[in-house]
Amino acid sequence: MNELVIVNNLTKVYEKKKLALDHMNLAIPRGKIIGLLGPNGSGKTTLIKLINGLLTATEGEVFINGKKPGPDTKAWVSYLPERTYFQGNMQVKELIAYFSDFYSDFRPERARQMLANLGIDENARLKTLSKGTKEKVQLIMVMSREAQLYILDEPIAGVDPAARDYILKTIISNYNENATVLISTHLISDIEKILDEVVFIRNGRVILQDTVENIRERKGKSVDSYFREVFAC
């Protein structure tokens, strides 16, 4: 089975009858870097939350390695949400201990190396760090795992261009080649160079899933240009 994630007929309706995912079907292969692309409100974050078991589906199912989201799948998935989830009074070194305790695939030495590269003090309390530094610490924690699936929700939104380069470099140099990286973003031009495949989502449905190479060859344009064409207002 080459598919790591299978999404079957997945539907999510929020309160007030807001349809976020509309009978979505999707298969995510192993060993690829995949861009999950779509305009605001297209259902990217909802899909990601459902894969991580943070929401309850209205209808349909998600399977990761053949299992529904639960303790087993959470041991395989390394998730970077679009928000900071730390307890502010924790020190960076306590966070490393926390991840080491719960995730058997967490590599503390790798995390320490990346923190040292960025000059982040392990003794610093998280509440004393700037928003950008907190995001970097969070990314370092997520990428210091040898997970089977990395899910990064808007990893480069809200950070400066230099930090974006560092984040992309971190992603490429730290992920296991048999693992899949699913990146959700609007900033396509920045990440296009690292993507193998893209999934376009609109109104809670997959409207395209193809390799970056195919899009460039068949459409004769970059993914960013093609995205602008498909999602033109």
Tokens 């040898």 label which residue?
A: 146
Q: Going by C-beta distance under 8 Å and a sequence separation of 6 or more, which residues neighbour residue 230?
A: 200, 202, 207, 208
Cβ closest to another protein, residue 77 vs residue 195 = 77
Distance between CA atoms of residues 123 and 151, nearest Å: 28
Supply the minimum distance, in Å, between the C-beta of residue 136 and another protein. Answer: 16
Handedness of CA 49, 53, 58, 62 (dihedral sign): positive
89-128 residues in contact with another protein (CB under 8 A) are 89-90, 98, 101-103
Q: Does 45 bind another protein (CB under 8 A)?
A: no
Using rule CB under 8 A, residue 77 touches another protein: yes
Q: Is 52 in the site for another protein (CB under 8 A)?
A: yes
72 forms part of the interface with another protein (CB under 8 A): yes
Cα 159 to Cα 3: distance, rounded to the nearest angstrom: 32
* Calpha distance 151→36 (Å, rounded): 10
Binding window for another protein (CB under 8 A); candidates: 86-94, 111-119, 197-205, 225-233: 86-94
β-sheet with 149-153: strand ranges across: 77-80, 149-153, 180-185, 33-37, 197-202, 205-211
Residues in binding contact with another protein, number by CB under 8 A: 26
Residue 56 binds to another protein (criterion: CB under 8 A): yes
Instruction: Give the one residue of 6, 53, 91, 124 binding another protein; rule: CB under 8 A.
Output: 53
The smaller minimum CB distance to another protein, of residues 79 and 200, is found at: 79
Give the nearer residue to another protein in terms of CB position, either 56 or 173.
56
Quick one: which of 81, 140, 167, 180 contacts another protein (CB under 8 A)? 81
Closest CA to 203 of 36, 21, 25, 48: 21
Q: Give CA–CA dist 61/137, Å, rounded.
A: 32
All residues at 6 or more sequence positions from 207 whose CB lies less than 8 Å from its CB, including other chains? 200, 201, 230
- One residue of 21, 63, 64, 79 binding another protein per CB under 8 A: 79
Smallest gap, in angstroms, from Cβ of residue 53 to another protein?
Answer: 7
> For residues 26 and 197, is the Cβ–Cβ distance under 8 A?
no
Nearer to another protein, 74 or 110 (CB): 74
For another protein, the closer CB: 45 or 197: 45
- Interhelix angle 131-143/108-117, rounded to 10 degrees, is 150
CB of 200 to another protein, least distance (A): 25
> Which positions lie near another protein, rule CB under 8 A?
15, 49, 52-56, 70-72, 74-75, 77, 79, 81, 83-87, 89-90, 98, 101-103
